[in-house]
Amino acid sequence: MNTTSTPTKVASTDVSIKPNVVNTAAITKVTLVIFALLALLPFQDAVYDLFMMKVFCFAIFAASVNLLLGFSGLLSFGHAAFFGTSAYVTAHAMKEWGVTPEIGLLVGVVASTALGYVFGALAIRRQGIYFAMITLALAQVVYFIATQVPFTNGEDGIQGVPRGKFLGLFDLSNSSHMYWFALGVFILAFLLIQRVVQSPFGQVLKSIRENEPRAISLGYDVDRYKLMAFTISAGLAGLGGGLKSLVLQLASLTDVFWHTSGEAVLMTILGGIGTLWGPVLGAAIIINLQNYLANLGGWSTIATGAIFVLCVLAFRRGIVGEISHRLNIRL
Amino acid sequence: MFELLGISPQALTSQLLIGLINGSFYALLSLGLAVIFGLLNVINFTHGALYMLGAMVAWIILTQLGGWIGMPELEISYWWALFIAPLVVGLFSIVIEKTMLKRLYHLDHLYGLLLTFGLALVIEGLFRHWFGVLGNSYPVPDLLRGGMRVNEFFIPWYRLWVVGMALAACFATWFFIERTNLGSLLRAGTENPRLLQALGVNVPLIITLTYGAGCALAAFAGVLAAPIYQVTAIMGSDLIIVVFAVVVIGGMGSIAGSILTGLGLGVVEGLTKVFYPQASSVSIFVIMIIVLLIKPAGLFGKVR
């Protein structure tokens, strides 16, 4: 297990660790190409804009789970709490306070980050499997609260959320404006995650994932790193959630339900744990699948579960993970 | 003196009894989770779905099976269900263990959780597809209808029976693990499976049987629950999260600890329902937070 870490260099916090140059070049090229393709999409009739925007939201959400699971080795089963909290807060801010979308998103992200700090501080007190159970249980508290407090409107949710005007200039009710906005948020989130993962901070997280006792013995305050990773991840999940309530103009109980947490984990596994593009591809596939199965009642849940089982049993690297393993590049 | 805080004694006793019943289910389920985790290092997310499956099997063999096989008058009673449902679910779980879980033992424990999560979705999804989400009521068996009257309190026989049976099952499990030879093998397997295997014991068989037995306990709880709650495809999905919180509070190190924590938390939840109803559904989670702050390893857990 304890192979890839580079203990001699990681020893001091302020040493900047240069990732393998070839790998970085590969991912940069791929990233640029995909971003360019995504930017061209709204000019095609073949792809449904709303679908792509929904993919962006869930890609950010899944990537936030992956930041914990893939790069820190922490499985959170409660990320719907952050996704949903931010969705509600953003929707409320947009609808009741009439703020601009960037402020709405910001308020949502602040709320989910604060919640993430509290949950993280509690959950890192236990490890491994308990960590997953605690995050799940804490998220259930958020779900119960969401069913009780008046501002979430219970079963109805917050409907008809206005999209507002970005910076007071660009009206996001225009579908292509909204697409650019969502794409911009997605690219920012993606670059942020890439930055975090490739930073010295990210390297320390990986060392904790690979061998926690060794990281402790090297003098790292492991709990502090885990808490920071958890808080960042919660904030990102909130960004996905807030964007979702702008795109779909709806925040509902589904957003905070534990099935949603499970979906984010599934997107991550299907795409490839610990890869940057994996969660994005996973999100695209799962959202697509749900679109097709939406009219078939319970089959969407069954299919989700079956893919889970198959991935865990036979396809643990995930799609992007498998490709990057075969080609020996990092994606 | 009963009128303390304006709470009627009827409400208090009835909620206490409901609390005890819920506590019995928590105890049965968390006990199964603890035994399975001890030996397999897997947190069995399917436990809630198997509890539902237990209740479903009981309901199906009572009301549906006869029609399916062309003998409409066939009704397999509650008493048979108490044996048949755990047996069916136990065998089903053994198949799962043999075909799927077994392949994951060499990996990180998290994969076991993810696999069983996926299975839970499939099982619940299938039953929701077949039977819908509307509740099916399961009649209380004739022998246990009615109840007794103590002063002005009415206590249904069936509820007493549930608490009694759950306690008996918990005690039997504890006795089996702590006091019998086979149980000592199980404990040895929890401590050091390789050494046990080197001594000539068939450890994979013990693991398979333990998983089956733990899941059968969940199905047993399901049959007990069938006449109290509505039998639906989703009856186990929220329960499992509460049971996870129970397991976090108690820690999975001790069998007796799991039982006590489960019962105790059920009662606490029942009391919250009397004194502050809004908080009853989150009371156990709040206790979990407090325990995490004060004693992170859990009430009966060992620091790891």
R_g of chain B computed on alpha carbons? 20
Chain A within 8 Å of B292 (Cβ-Cβ)?
Answer: yes
Is B299 a member of any domain? no
Q: What pLDDT, on the 0 to 100 scale, is given for residue A163? A: 87
Q: What pLDDT, on the 0 to 100 scale, is given for residue A112? A: 97
What is the rounded average pLDDT of the residues A214-233? 94
> Closest Cα of chain B to A145: distance in Å?
9
Per-residue pLDDT tens over the stretch B43-66: 899 999 999 999 999 999 988 887
Query: Residue A266 pLDDT more than 70?
Result: yes
CATH of the domain at B233: 1.10.3470
Q: What pLDDT, on the 0 to 100 scale, is given for residue A204? A: 93
* Sign (positive or negative) of CA dihedral B19, B23, B26, B29: negative
Is B86 a member of any domain? yes
Judging contacts by C-beta atoms under 8 Å, the chain B residues touching residue A258 are 241
Judging contacts by C-beta atoms under 8 Å, the chain B residues touching residue A299 are 125, 129
Contact B246, B30 (CB under 8 A): yes
* A312 contacts B121? CB cut-off 8 A: no
| Rounded-to-10 torsion of CA A141, B279, B298, A222 | 40
Residues A264-287 as b or e (16 or more Cβ within 10 Å = b): bbbbbbbbbbbbbbbbbbbbbbbb
> Closest Cα of chain A to B50: distance in Å?
15
User: What does pLDDT average to over chain B?
Assistant: 87
Query: Residue B303 pLDDT more than 70?
Result: no
* B124 contacts A133? CB cut-off 8 A: no
d(C-alpha B292, C-alpha A122), whole Å: 7
Question: Least CA distance to A265: which residue of chain B?
Answer: B114
Query: Residue A21 pLDDT more than 50?
Result: no
Name the B residues in 107-126 with CB < 8 Å from any A CB.
Answer: 107, 109-111, 113-115, 117-126
pTM (predicted TM-score): 0.88
Q: Identify the three-state secondary structure at position A250.
A: strand
* B114 contacts A137? CB cut-off 8 A: no
Q: Which of A137, A266, A316 sits opposite B285 (nearest CB)?
A: A137
Q: What pLDDT, on the 0 to 100 scale, is given for residue B4? A: 56
Per-residue pLDDT tens over the stretch A146-172: 998 888 888 888 998 888 888 878 888
A33 Cβ partners below 8 Å, 6+ apart?
A: none
Q: Which of B111, B292, B297 sits opposite A134 (nearest CB)?
A: B292
Residue A217 vs residue B279, higher pLDDT: A217
* B37 contacts A144? CB cut-off 8 A: no
> Closest Cα of chain B to A269: distance in Å?
10
**Domains of chain B: total:** 1
Q: Which of A140, A305, A316 sits opposite B118 (nearest CB)?
A: A305
Is B303 a member of any domain? no
Q: What pLDDT, on the 0 to 100 scale, is given for residue A13? A: 36
Per-residue pLDDT tens over the stretch B177-223: 889 988 898 888 888 888 999 999 899 999 999 999 999 999 999 99
Full residue range of the structural domain in which residue B181 is found = 4-294
Contact A138, A79 (CB under 8 A): no
By percentage, how much of chain B surpasses pLDDT 90? 45
What is the rounded average pLDDT of the residues A87-97? 93
Q: What pLDDT, on the 0 to 100 scale, is given for residue A156? A: 85
Per-residue pLDDT tens over the stretch B233-279: 889 888 999 999 998 898 887 888 888 999 999 999 988 888 888 78
Query: Residue A183 pLDDT more than 60?
Result: yes
Q: Which of B41, B124, B296 sits opposite A125 (nearest CB)?
A: B296
Q: Which of B37, B103, B293 sits opposite A313 (nearest CB)?
A: B103
Is B300 a member of any domain? no
Phi, psi at B147, each rounded to 5°? -175, -170
Per-residue pLDDT tens over the stretch B152-174: 777 888 988 999 999 999 999 99
Q: What is the DSSP string of chain B?
A: -TTGGG--HHHHHHHHHHHHHHHHHHHHHHHHHHHHHHHH----TTHHHHHHHHHHHHHIIIIIHHHHTT-TT----HHHHHHHHHHHHHHHHHHHHHHTGGGGTTS-HHHHHHHHHHHHHHHHHHHHHHH-SS-B--PPPGGG-SEEEETTEEEEHHHHHHHHHHHHHHHHHHHHHHHSHHHHHHHHHHH-HHHHHHTT--HHHHHHHHHHHHHHHHHHHHHHHTTTS-B-TTTTTTHHHHHHHHHHHH-SS-HHHHHHHHHHHHHHHHHHHHH-GGGTTTHHHHHHHHHHHH-TT-TTPPP-
* B118 contacts A306? CB cut-off 8 A: yes
Q: Which of A75, A129, A313 sits opposite B115 (nearest CB)?
A: A313
Query: Residue A94 pLDDT more than 80?
Result: yes
Quote the ipTM score. 0.87
Query: Residue A271 pLDDT more than 50?
Result: yes
Distance of CA A122 to the CA centre of its chain: 20
Q: What pLDDT, on the 0 to 100 scale, is given for residue A20? A: 44
* B43 contacts A129? CB cut-off 8 A: yes
d(C-alpha A79, C-alpha A67), whole Å: 12
Is B302 a member of any domain? no
Q: What pLDDT, on the 0 to 100 scale, is given for residue A45? A: 58
* B100 contacts A308? CB cut-off 8 A: no
Is B194 a member of any domain? yes
